[in-house]
Amino acid sequence: MTDQDVSVLTIGAGPANLALAVAIEESSSPELAQSTLLLEQHPDVQWQRNLLMPWARSQVSFLKDLVTLRNPRSKFSFLSFLHEQGRLDKFVNLGTFHPYRWELSDYLQWVAKSLEQVDIRYGARASHITPTRDAEGSVTGWTVSLADGDTIRCRDLVVGGGREAHVPDTLAGLPIDRLIHSTQFRSRIGQLPTDRPLRVVVLGGAQSAAEMFVAVTEILPLSEVTMVVRSVGLQNYQTSKFVNELFFPSFVDEFYQTPAEQRGKILDEMRPTNYAAVAPPFLDEIYSMLYRQDMVGPKRSTMRPMTEVAAARMDGDEVVLDLRDRTSGKIEQLGCDVVLLGTGYDSRMPWLVRDLSAKLGLTDVAVSRNYRVDIGESAWGALYLQGVNERTHGIADSLISVLAQRSSDILDDLLARRSAEARTP
């Protein structure tokens, strides 16, 4: 077991904290960069690692990479990555703003390897966090314990590991080996046998559910797949250019200053831009797939709209789902072997944050415009949250659209606090 001291520690080396690492490295403070460490629980950096199907695309423009909207001249841009890899001409020839997801994932790993001052530690999973305090009880920093027994102490902590997978209560009693959430899809679907028929049910009506619905027919060539959707059918993301202005980094200021009650209403109206919907081009592909199966076979994929799972149980070696028709209320049993969950994420703060807020005595996690948790003005150590501040910073908070500017906001706060302390006798 070893101990380590750093100035800034981030939990997670995904897009959010990588963007912050680049901003710190490009800042005027090399001392801060050389004392910043990113923790990544996996052995490498991948974006949405369990949904990296070869045909899956990003729904966000490549210009909204880790740096371009903050510093268009940065050597860490997506275009710089393509140029260095000798892929720029071919990418330009595609004529698209939406790269394949694996290509953005490659870009993130390239950025991670290109950092010269900020360090990344792989295979490092944080098990719990403890605030350190001075004699007056003010927070002076944080002690992060890793699963391997090592301890890292820091002054400022940035949590950007994302939310936990959501498993509906009606399915919580099923054996874990019969449930595969989208966050586990690629890792676990490959463990299922491909030499015998399997009955697969996909739950959800959003992009991740739709991608699993298509992918499982390729990965399990003998499978029969049923997609259960609560709505009248798969629906488009709202992609109007007028609506997309709400994903501008500049909209964060306007949203943050809006009263909480109004923010909630705005979020409800913005849900179709990011939740329970599918990218329009992919909708066309799914409809064409179903059409081909209907016309020339084999018929392996079925969609059940206006249907919800009322209950689930095991009957011997079979999963039995009670499906309720939302138009008639009629219940019908459907047997299957495995259930794929495109059911999104737990709306609560991540468990590390919930545990830490309890240790801090916080009944509510209040975050400043610069993403710093309010733990008292006297605190020397700060806690920043990335990607979980939708209710205060808008629906884009969990997306890559605002990463570049958000990293600048957090960096400005880090530097301003240090500058103010340097001027204080």
Mean of the pLDDT values across residues 18-26?
A: 98
Percent of the chain with pLDDT over 70: 99
Q: Please state the rounded mean pLDDT for residues 308-323.
A: 97
Residue 148's nearest CA partner among 124, 120, 119, 121 is 124
- The stretch 195-216 carries a mean pLDDT of 96
Location of structure tokens 């003010």:
138
Provide the pLDDT for residue 425: 53
Phi, psi of 97 (to 5 degrees): -95, -5
What is this structure's pTM?
0.94
H or E element that contains 78: helix 78-84
- Alpha-carbon span 244 to 240, nearest angstrom: 6
Does a cis peptide bond (omega within 30 degrees of 0) precede residue 298?
A: yes
Same CATH fold assignment for domains 3-164+346-423 and 169-236+275-341: yes
- Give the domain ranges of the chain: 3-164+346-423, 169-236+275-341
If DSSP states are collapsed to H, E and C, what string results for 398-422?
HCHHHHHHHHHHHHHHHHHHHHHHH
The architecture CATH gives domain 169-236+275-341: 3-Layer(bba) Sandwich (3.50)
Q: What would the pLDDT profile of 395-404 be if each residue is shown by its tens digit?
A: 999 989 999 9
Q: How far is residue 118's CA from residue 108's CA, in Å, rounded to a whole number?
A: 15
Taking the C-alpha atoms of residue 302 and residue 306, their distance in angstroms, rounded to an integer, is 13
Distance CA 423, CA 29 (A): 16
**Nearest-5° Cα angle at 19, 14 to 20:** 105
Residue with tokens 């199907």: 53
Q: Is the separation of the CB atoms in 105 and 51 below 8 Å? A: no
Report pLDDT for 422. 66
Contact indicator for 331, 323 with CB cutoff of 8 Å: yes
Question: What gap in Å lies between CA 209 and CA 284, rounded to an integer?
Answer: 15
What are the contacts of 58-62 at 24+ separation with CB within 8 A?
58/98, 58/99, 58/100, 58/101, 58/104, 58/400, 59/98, 59/207, 59/237, 59/279, 60/98, 60/399, 60/400, 60/401, 61/97, 61/98, 62/97, 62/98, 62/99, 62/104
Tokens at residue 401, please? 């659209």
Other C-beta atoms within 10 Å of 8: how many?
Answer: 24
Say whether 246 sits in a helix, a strand or coil.
helix
What rounded mean pLDDT belongs to the chain?
A: 94
Mean pLDDT score, 101-128: 96
Q: Which CATH number fits domain 3-164+346-423: 3.40.50.10490, 1.10.1060.10, 3.50.50.60, 3.90.180.10?
A: 3.50.50.60
Helix, strand or coil for residue 165?
Answer: strand
The type of residue at 193 is P
pLDDT at 124 exceeding the cut of 90: yes
What would the two tokens of residue 233 be? 């059918």
Tell me: pLDDT of 1 over 80. Answer: no
Helix 15-25 and helix 403-423: axis angle, to 10°?
Answer: 50
Q: Does 424 score more than 70 pLDDT?
A: no
Q: Report pLDDT digits (tens) over 222-236.
A: 999 999 999 999 999
Average pLDDT over residues 343-371: 93
* CA end-to-end span of the chain: 38
Instruction: Give the Cα-Cα-Cα angle 404, 139, 30 (nearest 5 degrees).
Output: 40
For residue range 87-112, list pLDDT tens digits in order: 999 999 999 999 999 999 999 999 99
pLDDT over 90 at 15, yes or no: yes
